[in-house]
Amino acid sequence: MGLTWKNWVLTALLGAAAASGLTTLILLLAEATSVLLPADTKFGIVFDAGSSHTSLFVYRWPAGKENSTGVVSQALACRVRGPGISSYASNPAQAGESLQGCLEEALALIPEARHQETPMFLGATAGMRLLSQKNSSQAGDIFAAVSRVLGQAPLDFWGAELLAGQDEGALGWITINYVLGMLIKYSFSGEWIRPLEGTLVGALDMGGASTQITFVPGGPILDKSTQATFRLYGSEHRVYTHSYLCFGRDQMLTRLLARLVESSPGPLVRHPCYHSGYWTRLSPATLYESPCVHTTPPPDLAWNLTVEGTGNPGACVSAIRGLFNFSSCEGRRHCAFDGVYQPPVRGRFYAFSNFYYTFYFLNLTSKQPLATVNATIWEFCQRPWKQVEASSPGQDRWLQDYCASGLYILTLLREGYGFREETWPDIEFHKQAGGTDIGWTLGYMLNLTGVIPAEVPARWRAESYGIWAAGVVFAGLTLLATLGAVAVHLLRPRG
């Protein structure tokens, strides 16, 4: 039987009501998405010019800020092709050109309307610190070349500068505690809250040329030169921080090899940290190019050295300990090594960068006990080189160095920083936290947002969204009610 005109009208009205409800739902979802990515989002770009490579990070945050600090998230991470900018001492222009690829990716991501107001900063760390010590003129040429390239971009270029080691450590500490929600987080009740001071996490960073330790000690910081103070989200923080130049992974390996060369009478060098069966040839002149190497070079640098591995972890530890001056801390209560003041370590720590990469390769990032960590590294060091190569196909050029790096990390953390068997479980090894790369750049951006004015108060945005959403719901319900009334009128029996 065909539909009567009343049934047809009713069907049409119900279809319209369903369409109206669906439209209302779509509009609500669309607005919810725009709240997650608001139109007034701000952006910032930071280049991390490390000793071995440069990385670009793009961050974004809503224009309204919480207690004068932006709520920042990572939008892009781009690794620049080639080595660190300090490697371009003989061709400074190439240092600037190397940044173009990642810069173009950042410009494509950020809306063009936001380009001119987007701050951009390049911070150079230990690699450029060493070059500045060795040849300040070459370092200046590199900074000038980098600044010329970045200054031509349609962005608000804040400059290219040498980042102090203390700043690198403190900003890395800010990054970790921010992404873990230790500085501020959003509660279920819809309010921003600050966790307790005792929950803050320490930071252990290791680059190619330097290593940093930063944490909140249990008592006062007696040496004020090791104290960093800053204000975030309405709270003031004081942390202990120190950076050890020449104690990064790459420079440690260079210094270690130079000491072994010095103690060898001829062109054959036996390396206890290299696996048995491994050998390589190198020119000794390359070792003494580093400002970190203070030993006397051989009288004749023309001949090449042959370096053979012996796979002896005990002798490797002894050689590594020679890189530290532990005797300078004898009789001193709060001292790490090389005469540097350090209060006792306290609380949880996140170890990242080369701490993480080394322990990740050795499968030691799952909070294994100290005895297990030590036994695993020693067993790895004693493996023949052919076995190591076979079990790690396609590994990077650092494959022969993981034994030395693992034992160095153990020595630094235990004998240097003072972690004990009972405090070892407090160290966690991570590359990221909450999907964000751990390093100094996010901490820098958080500090930077403190001087960028907010455009729209967060409360106003919340209220405007609520009014808009209520209006959509009200309109939708009004339309449904009207359609329902018409349907009832049409279907009412007539007599």
| Nearest residue to 56 via CA among 360, 445, 453, 447 | 445
Rg (CA), the chain: 30
Asked if residue 253 lies in contact with residue 323, where contact means CB atoms within 8 angstroms, the answer is: no
The residue from 105, 168, 308, 389 that is catalytic is 168
The one-letter code for the residue type at 369 is P
Residue 476: domain span: 5-37+458-491
366 and 264 together in one domain: yes
3-state helix vs strand vs coil in the chain, percent to 5: 45, 20, 35
CA atoms of 362 and 402, how far apart (whole Å) = 8
333 and 471 together in one domain: no
pLDDT digits (tens, 9 = 90+) for 142-179: 999 999 999 999 999 999 999 999 999 999 999 999 88
Query: Angle at the Cα of 479 (from 473 to 484), degrees rounded to 5?
Result: 125
Assigned domain for 28 exists: yes
Output phi, psi for 223, to 5 deg.
-100, 105
Assigned domain for 45 exists: no
319 and 412 together in one domain: yes
372 and 463 together in one domain: no
360 and 410 together in one domain: yes
494 pLDDT above the threshold of 60: no
272 and 412 together in one domain: yes
393 and 468 together in one domain: no
- At residue 262 the predicted structure's pLDDT band, cuts being 50, 70 and 90, is confident
Burial 422-448 (b: 16+ CB within 10 A, else e): ebbeebbbbeebeebbbbbbbbbbbbb
Burial 128-163 (b: 16+ CB within 10 A, else e): bbbbbeeeeebbebbbebbbebbeebebebeebebb
- DSSP classification of residue 40: T
Assigned domain for 372 exists: yes
478 and 416 together in one domain: no
What's the average model confidence in pLDDT over 419-434? Answer: 94
Assigned domain for 404 exists: yes
Assigned domain for 307 exists: yes
What's the average model confidence in pLDDT over 74-83? Answer: 96
CA atoms of 166 and 176, how far apart (whole Å) = 16
Assigned domain for 261 exists: yes
Q: Is the entire prediction scored with pTM above 0.75?
A: yes
332 and 467 together in one domain: no
Q: Give DSSP secondary structure letters for 406-444.
A: HHHHHHIIIIIS---TTTGGGEEE-SEETTEE-SHHHHH
Assigned domain for 15 exists: yes
426 and 469 together in one domain: no
Structure tokens at 173: 């500490």
What's the average model confidence in pLDDT over 254-262? Answer: 93
**Known catalytic membership, residue 168:** yes
370 and 468 together in one domain: no
pLDDT digits (tens, 9 = 90+) for 203-223: 999 999 999 999 999 999 999
pLDDT digits (tens, 9 = 90+) for 281-325: 988 778 888 899 987 776 666 678 899 999 999 999 999 999 999
Assigned domain for 131 exists: no
466 pLDDT above the threshold of 60: no
Total count of domains within the chain:
2
122 pLDDT above the threshold of 50: yes
420 and 466 together in one domain: no
